[in-house]
Amino acid sequence: MSNEPEQIEGNPEPEAPDDVKRAMEQNIGFVSTRFAGNDGVSLESAKWAQVLWDYRHRSFWFAGRLDRDPNVSWHAPLAWFGHPDIEHINQQVYGKLTRSPDITRLINSIAEQIKYELYDFVREFDIDILVAQNSLTIPMNIPLGVALTNYIAETGIPTLAHHHDFYWERDRFAVNAVGDFLSAAFPADLPSIQHATINSFAQEDLSHRRGVSSILVPNVLDFETPPPPFDDYVASMRSDIGLSDDDIVFLQPTRVVPRKGIEHSISLVAALKNLGCKLVVSHESGDEGGQYLDALQEMAEHNGVELRMISDRIGDERGQDDQGRRIYTLADAYAMSDFITYPSIYEGFGNALLEAFYFRKPVLANRYSIYVADIEPKGFQVVTMDGYLTRETIRKVERVVTDEAYRHQIVDKNFELGRSFYSYAVLRRKLRALVTNVTGADDL
């Protein structure tokens, strides 16, 4: 995985002094409530680690749920937002205006325990720089944010705080009994912390609300590396999920939660039934209950839309489940599909859009605020809607589906724009600025 320059025989590069080597080879400690699965924080942190590894920086992981290499990981059960004690705290402080003394003591007690685990983690792996991945941003685990804040304040360790979605962006945190903790730790404002936001609205909000500056680091994909080719394994996916080669497959590559607007995808496919369109949803229901899924299935049945929920067939790697059925990756689902639906009401960024561009698939997107501010101005060719479907929107989708030459034209343009604005090259430039602010060495 190294990307070190090739040495020319007979003219070796001079050996760097040990102190210079150490400045160039930092140990990076990523901290979050979880690094596991396909959530945005886990995926983006892995991309950061990949870019840092390419330039000799080693990554280590601290979280309550982990699927990283155990040899470079520190499992801290109390850091997991699903830990019973953390769930109990959340139940007692959100949707309420006051909290009991017992809850205050519990928050501080758990924060102290996590803080001392952070001391052990940094000591064990000789960490030079911490990367707080959303753990100083959204208060899913209040003690973790408090522990990080106290640890950073006590040690002055250089820290990059990567913010994906702030608590003030979510209705579920609007009424709370922990305003003191939120003001202190979400995010913390300390001299050794550099802040990174993923969209311009968040960058402006952080400045206006807290007086804190940040660098804008958008989510990225490895556009320099082409997608894997369509192979026999992908070719088997349609029949495995009950579709035919003649079907036009619309893929909704999101979790089943209300803000994803999946009802619009059902309405779109219903309007295009004469073309043989089917709708596939790749992910499971989120933590907001199953009522939305029930409503979607009822809506699809009422409108005569064939809806396939395939989360049980999607995994991190190809393989077989315990029933002997083939398991596919999300990349396989994109490769199998003809059109991507993304009618989200709100997104912190929009990874599924980047994935559609990367896999050269046409896409329908709702014009959510971040899309309008940060993505649309780049010139991507996307069929858009403004909160509701119109006949004109349906007509545009129909043209993309039926006009092969036009479809190839727009997806090729989108891929090139993605490579220009959302590639690993962009992330390298951003991380270079953040890391060299700490090391003083031009090491990226």
For the stretch 81-96, pLDDT in tens is: 999 999 999 999 999 9
Average pLDDT, stretch 122-130? 97
Q: Inform me whether the pLDDT recorded for 316 exceeds 90.
A: no
- High-pLDDT (> 70) share of the chain, %: 93
Mean pLDDT of 29-49: 91
Nearest to 34 by CA among 138, 152, 183, 149: 138
Instruction: Report if residue 345 sits inside a domain.
Output: yes
pLDDT of residue 9: 38
pLDDT, position 143: 98
Per-residue model confidence (pLDDT) at position 439: 87
67 with 169, same domain: the answer is: yes
Residues in the chain: 444
* More reliable by pLDDT, 274 or 145: 145
Domain check: are 294 and 371 in the same one?
Answer: yes
Confidence bin at 54 (pLDDT 50/70/90): confident
User: DSSP alpha helices (H): ranges in 6-141?
Assistant: 18-24, 40-54, 84-93, 101-125
Q: Judge if 156 and 286 occupy the same domain.
A: no
- Decide: 30 and 133 in contact? Cβ < 8 Å: yes
Q: Are residues 199 and 257 in the same domain?
A: no
C-beta neighbour count of 3 within 10 angstroms? 10
Looking at the fold, whether 49 and 101 belong to one and the same domain comes out as yes
Both 269 and 253 in one domain: the answer is yes
The reported pLDDT for the residue numbered 4 is 40
Residue 225, helix vs strand vs coil: coil
Instruction: Report the domain count for the chain.
Output: 2
The pLDDT assigned to 373 comes to: 92
**Whether residues 244 and 365 fall in one domain:** yes
For residues 345 and 385, give the distance between their C-alpha atoms in angstroms, rounded to a whole number.
Answer: 11
Whether residue 7 lies inside any domain: the answer is no
> Do 328 and 211 share a structural domain?
no
Is there a domain that residue 2 lies in? no
Query: Domain holding 320: CATH number?
Result: 3.40.50.2000
Q: Are residues 58 and 196 in the same domain?
A: yes
Residues 287 and 327 in one domain: yes
Question: pLDDT band at residue 148, thresholds of 50, 70 and 90?
Answer: very high
Domain region containing 66: 18-220+424-439
Question: Has residue 101 been placed in a domain?
Answer: yes
In a domain, 194, yes or no: yes
Q: What type of residue sits at position 23?
A: A
Question: For residues 146 and 127, what is the distance between their CA atoms, to the nearest angstrom?
Answer: 20
Within a domain: residue 290?
A: yes
Same domain, 53 and 188: yes
User: Is 304 in the same domain as 160?
Assistant: no
pLDDT for 155 beyond 50: yes
